[in-house]
A and B are shown apart, each in its own frame.
Chain A
């Protein structure tokens, strides 16, 4: 019984992490209709920045996290302004090729700079180990992830639903032409959103070093997970990808624990079935552009 609860807890933490990693992609892929296979590269960038700051320069872990966000967002905005924005109107094939190219480059570049082995971030003692609540083992680090990611999710939902920027973004996504007719600077809104999504991925990358493992092949290994979150979750709101991440996280942890032999088999099958059953995602709108 307690092992089920512990697994559930780990699954939720894993799912939350996936959500933070992938929610930027939910915007670019789901809302802006841009196939960005290089999303994991931004996460990796954030992870490595955090690693260098903590391990080599002795920064405290919690001070390095915001910097992981900022650096990934900065890389994101530079690439968006120089490269990505030329490709918004191009075919999906072009977008796929371009972002695969970027992914390959990032993998080789990180391999060149940092070596190909897996890296670990030195955690403060307060985050290590686990404690028991009614016999259920709760990892401190995973608890922290749930808290941080939960707060982020609530914050995102508030920004999207309540603020002026949120309504601008939703308008720009629903109908870019009408939105720009109303005086909304659509490219700017998209650029900002893109950068913010990259920043979140960077933060997720820094947090995930402990759980998912951080090495130069991170963007390729987890690409499919991010894509699953977005395509299964649909793009109507932030809730869809959130629920999809939780489902994926719990499913993956449970699958690895109870049927280790089946490996990632369960998840891929689930994804294909869901996509056949509801091509626009479980929680998606019916009309995709």
Chain B
């Protein structure tokens, strides 16, 4: 067996669906039936998970550190809100796609700024773009509603059939369906040769360029795709909560998002989903202990995670599950967090 077929074999084995993954999605679906009183917070988690998956695409796979990912979330949120408010596109699914495309256009336009320069410049440029959009949204308050936000958004039934109910049941299953479809797409992409080339770029851009990968074009492509995902997450936010205000662009949102991804682990797609669940639970716990000061504990979690080391932490977390899996399915089936992130 030569080296290239070996790589192909390995990549294919990685891309195959595992029982664990099916179990994970069944568990998520089951949550929708087991906790009928908690739809609102579960919808919130799904949105956050989608948003985190978007950051995972650029951070975990392409190694772009972004401090302003909320920019795309915000554009998606406002686009969906404006479309619904002015009755341009009434059907939520179509509006979702349109809002995602709006964010995607912005992502494509700004990707040229982001691929220039090193980490630090990227941090500044992404942060600057988010702040710029926030300032713009505040400036054009006649369109965006300023600090009050867009008000009086009425959502039409999904596909013209299923209306949004006040308990959030429709919103939950709608969000779940969107998340799952986009997850399938992302999964397909990261396991394709395109996705493998992204990992090569992340590990060593110079070497990737030397073996013939068009580094800049690949980065532009994935950044644009991530913007689409973030835009759809933002549009979901507006559609399920019926509000869009200036804080969709806030720095805290981008920072929290990083924490979500760091908790879950970057670079294997499930990180954002798991991180979103843990983050929300942490947030709930902290805000019941100290309502006003939960941010302190979130900060502490960040500091501790970095000091302990993300790699080591994930090894600890996966220690018990792996022990169980080893007993049941043998040595090969161990869950591992692939590669180091960034």
Interface residues of chain A, those whose CB is within 8 Å of chain B, are 29, 35, 83, 86-87, 90-94, 96-98, 100-109, 111-112, 220, 223-224, 227-228, 231, 261-265, 268-269, 271-272, 275-276, 279, 288
Contacts and interface: CB of A to CB of B under 8 A. Distances in A.
Contacts of B305: 97, 101
A101 B295 CA distance: 9
25 contacts: A90-B306, A92-B65, A93-B59, A93-B342, A94-B310, A96-B67, A97-B258, A97-B262, A97-B305, A98-B306, A100-B258, A101-B299, A101-B305, A105-B303, A109-B296, A111-B293, A227-B124, A227-B127, A228-B124, A261-B139, A263-B135, A263-B138, A275-B117, A276-B116, A288-B118
Given A97-B306, A264-B131, A276-B113, A104 B295 contact: yes
Interface string B194-238: 000000000000000000000000000000000000000000000
Contacts of B139: 261-263, 265
B255 interface: yes
A275 B299 contact: no
B219 to A, nearest CB: 15
B117 A268 contact: no
B120 A101 contact: no
Given A93-B341, A101-B299, A276-B116, 5 more contacts: A87-B306, A108-B293, A263-B138, A268-B132, A269-B132
Contacts of A224: 127-128, 131
Nearest to A262: B139
B295 A83 contact: no
Contacts of A264: 131, 135
A271 B117 contact: no
Interface in B239-264: 251-252, 255, 258-259, 262
The 5 lowest CB-CB distance pairs between A and B, nearest first, are A101-B302, A104-B299, A108-B296, A105-B299, A279-B117
Contacts of B121: 231, 275, 279
Nearest to B266: A93
Interface in B116-146: 116-121, 123-125, 127-129, 131-132, 135-136, 138-139
Interface string B297-308: 011111101110
Interface string B280-292: 0000000000001
A92 B67 CA distance: 12
Contact of A272 (B119, B125, B252, B307): B125
A107 B295 contact: yes
Nearest to A270: B128
Nearest to B133: A268
A103 B299 contact: yes
Given A83-B307, A268-B128, A104 B123 contact: no
